[in-house]
Copies of this chain bind each other. A is one copy, B any other.
Amino acid sequence: MPVSTPPARRIIDADVHNAFADIRAELRPFLARRWQAYADTHGIVVPPAGYISPVGVQREDARTPSGAIAGSDPAFLITDHLDRYGIETAILTGSHVLGCSVHPDPDWGNAIASAYNQNLAARWLDHSPRFRGSIVVNHSDPAAAAREIHRCAPDKRFVQVLMASGSSRLFGQRFFHPLYEAAAEHNLPVAIHPGTEGAGTAGDPTPAGRPTRYFEWHNIVPINFQAHINSLVCEGVFEKFPNLKFVAIEGGLAWLPALMWRMDKNYKALRAETPWLKKLPSAYIRDHLCLTTQPIDEPEEPAQFAQILAMINAPGNILFSSDYPHWDFDNPLMALPPLPRDVKDRIFHANAAALYRLP
């Protein structure tokens, strides 16, 4: 297979974390008076999973010129990340708010999500057209999430819906369908992002309870993605919402062939249970699922990465992401093993441009 080592010609980064230097100061103006009083007393804190990275989460070397937390300054994010690597557009995925979906109180979760979205538009999307936004929703209250989607969607700078992957329920279940109905109505993909596995009202991070340490917890996060994708397909979400796209951010991708094969094999024997499915499970995955690259799966033999892509066989569905400014950031100039030029161009630009309707 011919490979190209030159960097991609155009880049969209599908996972860039804007952050808050002071979350209370930034969100307070967008909170109802009741929640302002609550924030003044208790702060704006969503439930943590309790696992602490020994190297921190935000890169220390990407602190802003004023010394604030990495990702908190729009102008510096452009120079330190977008300009440095020739990235045209960043899909912003936020920081410190996805846990609104696993807070016990759905009203507080809804308030945080909406305030985040309002702040995002004013502070980030107004700053530069190179930023595109995600509508953060609280998935524990799908009706409220649908209202928030309807409120934000007319602003076309929002290009997707984003929610925590941590959950007490699997995302295929009917409970969530009002949220998908709203997203599909506006042709907005629904994305999930890890970090809340085992936090708040979410289930334990594994089928056998809680990992012991951050290293072990971070290794195993992709199993939650496998479970949600399996649920979405089996429950017929993509038959019910035929234009819905689902984006799995930061959950890896090399496990996908195993899941597709097992689902297809079982479907042949067990499909009496799911008469609403009209094609192989892998076909729904190829038609509706996108996956971001970071943290990229790194085989011992670089050529095996291309084999994994061939097994997935969804050339339009992989999106480059850097995860700037997190500790396990993937440098766009270095990440991904050697790939054919056309594959590289699709992953770094064309796939995201099509999904998010970008130039």
Instruction: List the interface of chain A (C-beta within 8 A of B).
Output: 53-55, 165-173, 197-198, 202-216, 218-220, 222-224, 226-228, 230-231, 234-235, 252-255, 257-259, 261-267, 269-274, 281-282, 295, 297-301, 304, 307-308, 310-311, 313, 327-328
A220: B residues at CB distance < 8 A: 226-227, 230
With A230-B219, A262-B222 as known contacts, state yes or no: A202 contacts B213, CB within 8 Å.
Answer: no
What CA separation (Å) do A120 and B169 show in the bound complex?
A: 40
In this complex, the member of A208, A223, A262, A266 whose beta carbon has the largest number of chain B beta carbons within 10 angstroms is A208
* A53 vs B273: C-alpha distance when bound (angstroms): 9
Most chain B CB inside 10 Å of its own CB: which residue of A171, A211, A255, A272: A255
CB distance from A278 to the nearest CB of B (A): 15
Copies of this chain assembled into the complex: 2
A170 to B198, CA, bound (A): 14
Which single member of B203, B213, B223 contacts A204 (CB below 8 Å)?
Answer: B203
A308 to B222, CA, bound (A): 19
The distance in angstroms between the C-alpha atoms of A230 and B221, with both chains bound, is 11
Q: Are A261 and B254 in contact (CB under 8 A)?
A: yes
> Known contacts A171-B208, A215-B273, A262-B295; can you find 5 more A-B pairs with CB under 8 A?
A206-B227, A213-B234, A215-B234, A219-B234, A254-B258
B254 touching A257, Cβ below 8 Å:
yes
Q: Cβ of A266: which chain B residues have Cβ within 8 Å of it? A: 215, 218-219, 328
27 A-B interface contacts by CB (under 8 A) = A166-B208, A168-B208, A169-B209, A197-B207, A206-B223, A211-B234, A212-B231, A212-B234, A213-B274, A215-B266, A215-B270, A216-B230, A216-B234, A219-B234, A219-B259, A223-B226, A223-B227, A252-B262, A253-B258, A254-B261, A255-B258, A257-B308, A261-B300, A266-B328, A269-B327, A282-B300, A307-B311
